Chain A
């Protein structure tokens, strides 16, 4: 995999590992996925507002779901990290609901996304053509624009905090977010 000649920066092909999990329940491939992604899912969840216990539990559920759903992963329509993000997102939504319902985080149960119609991600069919256009649009988004989208929507930071992080007036932050979203929409519409 990561050949020595390409140096330490050589990237692991996560999609290929997911494929091995799907094809033959390859536990070594799964261990590599776990070691890379589980701590990052946990870090990402903590950064976006979960406490450490919730983040640990959701990261574990997410990895269980990565195993069980590996056969649904299609590398031609989504990157491995984006696919794992969507699983973590759905596990988090379901965990929050169970926590409200039961007054605690549900242990052990691997939340079944298909049981919740609003998480029926399989109803939103991805196409290869979409992946190409999405990649092209993201490529053309400026660093500044992807940063404000990340801070505002992905990390869900309040506008005032983004203003502080970027050292910009609040009004500028708001207009930058709006412009970045419009730009992304335009780039996606333009791409052929």
Chain B
């Protein structure tokens, strides 16, 4: 897999330090798991953070903290083996990255002609939502900008827009200044993992007409 589009460095650093919300963490994590270059960047930030932790001014723990920790270790139940819940029965999800397969994924719903989505059920404590977006070959996403950020990692197929060609593993970062109109490649449906804050804003007459029907 040749990955040519990467998350911006500050997003990778926020991923490494735990500052992203869960939907963003999922999308960046899926990219990082596939991308050795970004994995090294994340590791570097973790090393710097480890050094910072090691040099932090110590603050005394509670007097009984060590005993409390040992008691918790002794009481800890053996973890139950994990069972994959969806992957086996859902062909669309069967060959997705492990991190996605471990998520609870909701029912498909139609967004626009040739475009459908499946929500990813996270704990809902973050400000962004995650979903799988499936677009049929040749489908043209609506011209749009965002009221917030949009993080996309391609899982299957491809799309192109002004920023270039995006294939599996590629990461696309759209903020409220980007106005793009992706076109799906014709090699097959394009499946993307998306985290989005805010709402899409449709442009042009078609956008204005179709906007009330687009449920993203």
Chain A interface residues (CB < 8 Å from chain B): 27, 31, 34-35, 37-44, 46-47, 52, 55-56, 59-60, 63-64, 67-68, 78-86, 88-90, 92-93, 96-97, 100-101, 108, 110, 112, 114, 116-120, 123-127, 130-131, 133-135, 137-138, 146, 149-150, 153-156, 181-182, 184-185, 188-189
Contacts and interface: CB of A to CB of B under 8 A. Distances in A.
Contact of B25 (A60, A100, A118): A118
A138 to B, nearest CB: 6
A81 B50 contact: yes
Interface stretch (B13-21, B141-149, B207-215): B13-21
Given A64-B76, A154-B52, A34 B66 contact: yes
B17 A154 contact: yes
A55 B22 contact: no
B35 to A, nearest CB: 10
Name the prevailing secondary structure of the B interface residues: helix
Interface string B119-131: 0001101000000
25 contacts: A34-B66, A37-B53, A40-B55, A44-B53, A55-B59, A60-B69, A80-B50, A82-B47, A85-B46, A85-B50, A86-B46, A93-B25, A97-B22, A97-B123, A110-B76, A123-B29, A123-B97, A138-B44, A138-B47, A149-B13, A150-B52, A153-B16, A154-B49, A156-B19, A188-B40
Nearest to A93: B18
A19 B54 CA distance: 19
B39 A124 contact: yes
A81 B54 contact: yes
Interface stretch (B98-106, B107-115, B155-163): B98-106
Contact of A120 (B58, B61, B99): B99
Nearest to B8: A181
Nearest to B27: A118
Contact of A123 (B40, B48, B69, B98): B98
Contacts of B100: 117
A58 B102 CA distance: 25
Contact of B10 (A27, A59, A153, A189): A153
B178 interface: no
Interface size class of chain B, counting residues whose CB lies under 8 Å from the partner chain: 35 or more
B76 A68 contact: yes
A90 B79 CA distance: 18
A81 B51 contact: yes
A127 B40 CA distance: 9
A39 B60 CA distance: 5
Point out which of B53, B54, B76 has the most chain A C-beta atoms below 10 A from its C-beta.
B53
A79 B47 contact: yes
Contacts of A43: 56-59
B69 A124 contact: no
Given A39-B59, A153-B13, A120 B98 contact: yes
Contacts of A150: 48, 52
A117 B99 contact: yes
Contacts of B56: 40-41, 43-44, 47
Contacts of B69: 34, 38, 60, 63-64, 67
Given A88-B53, A120-B99, A154-B49, A39 B82 contact: no
